[in-house]
Amino acid sequence: MQDNYTDDSIRTLDWKEHIRLRPGMYIGKLGDGTSHDDGIYVLLKEIIDNSIDEFVMGNGKTIEVNINENMVSVRDFGRGMPLGKVIDCVSKINTGAKYDSNVFKKAVGLNGVGSKAVNAMSSFFTVQSVRENQTKIVEFCRGEITLDKPLEASEERQGTQISFVPDEDIFGKYRYLHEYVEEMLWNYAFLNNGLTIVFNGQKFQAKNGLLDLLERNMAGPDTMTYPIIHIREEDFECAFTHSNNTYNEEYYSFVNGQHTTQGGTHQNAFREAIVKTIREFYNKDYDVADIRNSLVAAISIKVQEPVFESQTKTKLGSQYMEPEGRSVRNFIGDIIKRNLDNYLHMNPETADSLQRKIMQSEKERKDMANIKKLARESVKKASLHNKKLRDCRIHFNSNHDKRLETTLFITEGDSASGSITKSRDVQTQAVFSLKGKPLNCYGLTKKIVYENEEFNLLQTALNIDESLENLRYNNIVVATDADVDGMHIRLLLLTFFLQFYPDLIKSGHLYILQTPLFRVRNKKETIYCYSEEERVNALKKLGAHPEITRFKGLGEISPDEFKFFIGPSMRLDPVLMKRDMPMAIGELLEFYMGKNTPDRQTFIINNLRMEDDLTEKKLVVS
C-alpha cells in the first residue's frame, strides 16, 4: 500500500520549527558536551563570534563570558544591536548586518543564522542591547517571544548581552566542560591581539598571536627541534616548528578567527609552500613526508566573504581572496617563500637543525619500510576483520553527520567484547578486542607499533598509519573493567596514544567509558548507578527491599543490559590534555610509566584508594 501523497502532505515550517527539526544542518552533531565539537559549544561559539566581529571592527576590547551550570551569558562592549532591530536580529532568519561588507569586513558569524539557531534551540534566551543611553531587552523560549520590554533609559556601557540555556528537549542531559570552553577562548585570544576575554573571572589575553598559541601547545622548548618561526604579513599569519616527540603533522588552522579543524585551501597552500621553499633553499629534492614529518604549525588567514564546505565552517573552500581576486594558494605561497627563505638565511643554526630533522626522518622512513611491509603481512595473517575487529558499516567516507557518530570500543576479554558486540549499533559502533594486557611502550620507538601485533592491529583498525586525517572512527572509547587490572590496561593504552599519537588526544577523539557499579531494581523499575551516591538515591526512590547487584566487570553485564550503557545515554569521560599542564608528555610518561622511583612510590601511597567490596567502606592511606 502506497502512502497518500496529497496537498496535505506539503508542510511549510517557520524558521524556528525548521532549526529544531533539523539541528544538524545548523550546528553539526548534538552530543552531550563530552566532545569538544558537540552542539552546545557551537551555540556558545556562534554568540561569541558576533562579539569577536565587533572587536575586529574596532568596537570594544573586552568580552565577558559566564557559565553557571547550564546558563550561558556573553557580554560585549561593541556598538550594540540597533535598538529597533533587536528582535529581527535574533529571530528573523537571514537577517543581519554582515551582508554589508562595509559594516562587517572579514566576519566569521553565520551571516544571519547563528543567533537565530541559538534562540530556537534554547529553552531560555534573552538579548539586551545598550546603545545611545537606551536599552532594549527581549526574552524568548524556543524562539517564541515571552517578554518584550519597551525602550528604557540606561547608563550601562554600550554593547550587547545574550544569555541562553540550551534546550534539554534537543540536547538531552548535557554539561559544559570548562576545559573545552577555555580552549575555545584561548584560541580567540591568540587570534586577536589586544582583546581581553573574561571567563568566570579568569582573564584570557595574548600578545604574540600564533607564537603564543604554539608555545602553549608545545609544552616547553625541549619539545621543539628549533625555535618557533613566526611570520606575519597582510592578512596571513603562521607559526611553526618541528616536534621532537611526535611523528605526525599537527595543525591549528583558522579563517577569520574560525577554527577550521578540517583544514581547507589555506592549510593545503601552507603545506605545499613549506615543501617547495625548503626544497629550493637546500637545493635538495627531499621527500614530502620527510619534510612534513613532526611538523607542528598554526595558520591564520582573513578572507572577505569566505566560502566554507559546511554550515559549521570547519573546512575552507575559498580558492580566491575577495575582492582582490588573488589565489589563496599563490597569496600564501608568496608570503612563505619570501619570509621563510629570508629567515633560514639569517638563522643558519635553525637551518642546520631543520635539515638534520629532515634527514633523520628520511633515515627512519627507509628503516621502517621493511618493518611496515612485514607488519602488513602480519595484519593479513591475523585476519583483522574476523578476529580482532567487529567493524561498523559506516566510515569516514560517508556523510558528515554519520561520520561524527562513528565509535570504536577498545575492550578486554571475550565476554566483555562479546556483550558490547551484541549490544552495539552495527551502523556506527565497532569493537576491537584486546588479548590480555598491552605492552608498556613508554620509551620505545615507533618501530614497536609495527612489530607488536596488538599495537599493529589497533593502528590498522584506526587507520592512523600514515596520517590522523584518515582516522576511521571519530570517537575512540576505552572500555575496561573498573578494577586494578582494568585500570592498568587503561593506563597502558593511554601510554600508547600519548607516546605515538598525542594529537589524537589533543583533537578530542579519546574517551573512557563509564559503566555502572550497581543495579538497583524492584518489580516495577530498574536503576543503574554509577556511584555510591547514585545507589543511595536509587534505594530511597525504590523504597523497601529492592534487589541490589554489584557489577565487578564488564563481562558480568548481559548484552540486553549493555545496550543501555552504549546507547544515547552513554556516559563518557573525555581524555583531556590541559594546555597549562605542568609537565610535558615525556615527563608525564616518565613519572607514571617509567622506572619505579621514590617519588612515584610516595605519590601512590598518598593517593591510594582501597575499596572493600563486602562492606563498601573506603580506606584512605595517607
Residue type present at position 37: D
- The model's pLDDT over 462-479, given as tens digits with 9 standing for 90+, comes to 988 777 778 889 899 999
- In the block, cell 598518598 appears at 606
Domain ranges of the chain: 16-204, 210-366, 382-515+559-581, 518-550
Instruction: Select the more confidently predicted residue: 579 or 494.
Output: 494
Give the pLDDT score at 391: 87
What mean pLDDT, rounded, does the chain reach? 83
Question: Would the pLDDT of 193 be above 80?
Answer: yes
Residue 442, pLDDT score: 82
Query: Is 424:431 a contact under the CB 8 Å cutoff?
Result: yes
**Phi, psi torsion values for 299, nearest 5 degrees:** -135, 135
Segment 137-162 mean pLDDT: 94
CA angle 211, 216, 218 (to 5 degrees): 95
Q: Under a CB-based contact definition with an 8 Å cutoff, are residues 104 and 36 in contact?
A: no
Predicted local confidence at residue 385, as pLDDT: 47
* pLDDT score for 610: 38
**Mean pLDDT computed over 369-391:** 66
pLDDT confidence band for 2 (50 / 70 / 90): low
Residue 435 has pLDDT above 90, yes or no: no
Characterize the bridge pairing of strands 429-434 and 475-479.
Answer: unpaired
CA proximity to 357, closest of 446, 234, 225 = 225
Query: Roughly how many angstroms between the first and final C-alpha of the chain, as a whole number?
Result: 72
pLDDT of residue 584: 59
Q: Is the dihedral of CA 480, 486, 487, 490 positive or negative?
A: negative
The region of weakest confidence among 352-366, 401-415, 529-543 is 401-415
- Which alpha helices (DSSP H) does 63-105 contain, by range? 86-91
Which of the four CATH numbers 3.30.70.360, 3.40.50.720, 1.20.1260.10, 3.30.565.10 does domain 16-204 have? 3.30.565.10
How confident is the model over 191-206, as a mean pLDDT? 94
Residue 255: phi and psi, rounded to 5, are -130, 120
Q: Is the pLDDT of residue 382 over 60?
A: no
pLDDT at 618: 31
- The whole-number pLDDT of residue 103 equals 41
* Percent of the chain residues topping a pLDDT of 90: 38
CATH for the 210-366 domain, from 3.30.230.10, 3.40.630.30, 3.40.1280.10, 3.40.50.2020 = 3.30.230.10
pLDDT (tens digit, 9 = 90+) per residue, 41-75?
Answer: 999 999 999 999 899 888 999 999 999 989 999 99
> Percentage of the chain surpassing pLDDT 70?
83
Rounded to whole angstroms, the Cα distance separating 411 from 420 reads 9
Let me know the angle formed at the C-alpha of 27 by 268 and 212, rounded to the nearest 5 degrees: 50
Arithmetic mean of pLDDT, 302-328: 76
SS3 314: coil
Assign 493 a pLDDT band (cuts: 50, 70, 90). very high
CATH class for the domain made up of 382-515+559-581: alpha beta
Beta strands in 356-435 (DSSP E): 389-390, 407-412, 429-434
At residue 221, the pLDDT reads 73
The pLDDT score that the predictor gives to residue 353 is: 95
Closest CA to 298 of 219, 204, 220, 187: 187
Confidence category of residue 228, pLDDT binned at 50, 70, 90: very high
**pLDDT surpassing 90 at residue 338:** yes
Q: What pLDDT score was predicted for residue 609?
A: 44
Residue 371 gets the label, from left (phi > 0), alpha (psi -120 to 50) or beta, of alpha
| pLDDT band per the 50, 70, 90 thresholds, residue 381 | low
Residue 599 has pLDDT above 70, yes or no: no
Examine the pLDDT at 237 and tell me if it is beyond 80: yes
Beta bridge partners of residue 434, listed in sequence order: 412
CB neighbours of residue 501 within 10 Å: 24
The pLDDT, as a whole number, for residue 231 is 95
pLDDT beyond 50 at 617: no
Q: What is the pLDDT of residue 378?
A: 62
Enclosing H/E stretch for 331: helix 328-346
Is residue 585 over pLDDT 90? no
pLDDT at 156: 94
Contact predicate 137/149, CB 8 Å: yes
What lies within 8 Å, CB to CB, of 447 at 6+ separation is: 367, 368, 371
pLDDT band at 597 (very low <50, low <70, confident <90, very high): low
> What single letter denotes the amino acid at residue 316?
L
Question: What pLDDT, on the 0 to 100 scale, is given for residue 377?
Answer: 65
pLDDT in tens, 243-301: 887 777 888 999 888 888 888 899 999 999 999 999 999 999 999 999 999 899 999 99
- DSSP helix/strand/coil, 216: helix
